[in-house]
A and B are shown apart, each in its own frame.
Chain A
């Protein structure tokens, strides 16, 4: 598995990557306790039917319970879940969040959610910038390079610690190597592309400065 470290995914702490079903269910339970069926309905209502697969809430509840992030506050019959929900005469197990779950959710909520400056956004900025904006564009590209390099460092750090722990399974190591190489290649390409863009913008900025005065895309106030 890529462990959620791939392109376009926030690479923060292992448990706080992107919007996972667990995080969403945790958020819903913090709002108010609920059973799995209600959670499933609320997920659909809040995020749309396409956001999460059918049955997501049931799986998430099991995982969150195992991790001690939520607990049952009103026990239903054993073998609950969908079977229990089908028989409306049986009381369903209602879950609430534990203090650890609240803390986990707060950490996720406060973690940076944006990926490094998206190439599309950067391209749009470059497409619309004028010669006078080039110095700022160079700064933006440089920041993006730094952010990508930092991500590469994070990825390497995590991969190294994983590999040092599990060093006896050669086959698994090889598979992990191949998979992480895909992520690394993506960051590699991005860093190189950004470096090239920055050099090009710097050169163009110098040409314009040497030739004629720089003007911004936007008219002065």
Chain B
């Protein structure tokens, strides 16, 4: 069963009475446990909207969204909030609202589900896993872009979700950092059986994804997965018959 399943999802934003902006059109996509799926698109093509729909933050006009088998829009508001709080991790590149030390900012969202001591312990574990525990007492403003990306990732995994939604995390990273960050996502997906849906605007960020699809004009284009190539049992009749082979056959 897919961790995340989007089926024929369409999203249109109304602009006044006469105009409508089509953001997503008939999008279908599955993300399985242990898999990193990248959505490659230019800016303003609906990447963040797609993630918001997947997280249950934005209701699509048409279509179904299922997370871990549950119909997201069949849940109550409280149910959706619980789902977002426990099963889904969100990784963005925006600065946190509060200017507090990194460890505190990672621990704060956990306080609704566990005690302070445990929240801080889990925040530290998440920061350590992504390799920025030494930044725990620093403030967001003092972090480098690379450290910010990793702290954002720590935010996402601190709740130990089963589904991670990543919004253009690598936007301000250089080539090597993009590679390291996306490889880390691949490792996390494998070791935690995590499904990762990652929207990116740079194809270099897709290199550690098991699957890449593209999004343009609201349409998601997903190439079919290449299947195993069956070995032909015998040469078909219409294939070139090489002289030396016919000669061999005749002589044998």
Contact = CB atoms under 8 A, between A and B. Distances in A.
Interface in B118-139: none
Interface string B189-222: 0000000000000111011110111101101011
B214 A149 contact: yes
Q: Chain A interface secondary structure, helix, strand, loop or mixed? A: helix
A189 to B, nearest CB: 8
Interface string A159-201: 1100000000000001001101100110110011011101100
Interface stretch (A28-36, A39-47, A50-58, A84-92): A28-36
B207 A149 contact: no
Contact of A185 (B40, B204, B217, B244): B204
B223 A153 contact: yes
Interface in A89-119: 96-97, 102, 106, 109-110
Contacts of B20: none
Interface in B36-89: 40-42, 45
Contacts of A145: 214, 216, 221
Given A142-B221, A149-B221, A195-B214, A188 B203 contact: yes
B235 to A, nearest CB: 7
A142 B216 CA distance: 10
A30 B242 contact: yes
Contacts of A185: 203-204
Interface centre among B45, B235, B244, B245 (most CB of A within 10 A): B244
A125 to B, nearest CB: 19
How many chain A residues sit at the interface, stated as a range, is: 35 or more
Interface string B165-186: 0000000000110010000001
A31 B45 CA distance: 54
Interface in A131-169: 142, 145-147, 149-150, 152-154, 156, 159-160
Contacts, number: 93
A198 B212 contact: no
Nearest to B38: A156
B226 interface: yes
B240 interface: yes
A202 interface: yes
B112 interface: no
B239 interface: yes
B190 to A, nearest CB: 11
A152 B212 contact: yes
B16 interface: no
Contact of A196 (B176, B216, B221): B216
Given A152-B212, A153-B212, A198-B216, A97 B40 contact: no
Nearest to A27: B242
A156 B212 contact: yes
A80 to B, nearest CB: 22
Contacts of A188: 40, 202-204
Interface string B212-252: 11101101011110100000100100011011110000000
Contact of B212 (A96, A149, A192): A149
B173 to A, nearest CB: 13
A149 B40 contact: yes
B242 A31 contact: yes
Given A160-B186, A181-B175, 18 more contacts: A31-B243, A102-B245, A106-B239, A146-B223, A149-B213, A150-B226, A156-B206, A156-B209, A174-B176, A177-B175, A181-B204, A184-B204, A185-B204, A188-B40, A191-B203, A195-B41, A195-B216, A198-B217
The 9 closest A-B pairs by CB, nearest first: A195-B216, A188-B203, A150-B223, A199-B217, A30-B242, A156-B207, A146-B223, A184-B203, A149-B223
22 contacts: A31-B244, A102-B245, A145-B214, A145-B216, A145-B221, A146-B221, A146-B223, A149-B40, A149-B212, A149-B221, A149-B223, A152-B203, A152-B212, A153-B212, A154-B226, A178-B175, A187-B203, A188-B204, A194-B216, A195-B42, A196-B216, A199-B216
